[in-house]
């Protein structure tokens, strides 16, 4: 790859994070309008209703494993290992994050969510292995 292609999957993940923030805001506003929680209760976030809690948890999850994804993308770029292999792996990781988030904020069914997470975990590990192999071979 040439240029900044490795950063497009990263930006796609950033779009997911912003979308989840918007969804969290909408679900919280809905809970306030429905009288399930007072606006002031969100100051300490002790009794978050389940409808918005799943989005909050999904959003928090975007700052766990994906942090390693961001670092890997930057390192792939710096080491010039951002080729087709890296690009395919990066897009696969982001696609799996979108799928994981979709399940998380809808059914939240672990029968689907866990294997999707595991697949993303493996894809990200492959990105790091690719980086290590590239650096060792250089």
Local structure of residue 83 (DSSP, 8 states): S
Q: What is the pLDDT of residue 121?
A: 98
Residues in the chain: 138
> Where would I find the H helices in the chain?
7-33, 50-61, 65-78, 84-105, 110-137
- Counting as low any pLDDT under 50, the low residues of the chain are none
CA distances from 94 to 8, 24, 72, 119 (A): 10, 20, 13, 11
Q: What is the pLDDT of residue 98?
A: 98
Q: What is the pLDDT of residue 1?
A: 65
Q: Please tell me the CATH code under which domain 6-137 is placed.
A: 1.20.120.550
The packing angle between helices 7-33 and 65-78, to 10°, is 160
Q: What is the pLDDT of residue 2?
A: 62
Domain ranges of the chain: 6-137
- Interatomic CA distance for residues 4 and 35, integer angstroms: 47
């Amino acid at each position: 790859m040439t240029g900044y292609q490795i950063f497009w999957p990263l930006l796609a993940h950033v779009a997911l994070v912003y979308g989840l923030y918007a969804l969290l805001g909408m679900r919280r506003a809905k809970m306030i309008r429905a009288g399930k929680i007072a606006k002031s209760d969100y100051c300490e976030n002790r009794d978050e209703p389940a409808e918005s809690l799943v989005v909050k948890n999904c959003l928090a999850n975007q700052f766990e494993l994906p942090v390693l994804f961001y670092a890997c993308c930057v390192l792939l770029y710096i080491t010039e290992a951002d080729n087709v292999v890296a690009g395919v792996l990066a897009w696969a990781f982001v696609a799996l994050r979108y799928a994981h988030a979709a399940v998380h904020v809808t059914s939240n069914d672990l029968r689907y969510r866990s294997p999707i997470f595991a697949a993303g975990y493996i894809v990200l590990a492959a990105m790091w292995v690719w980086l290590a192999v590239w650096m060792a071979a250089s």
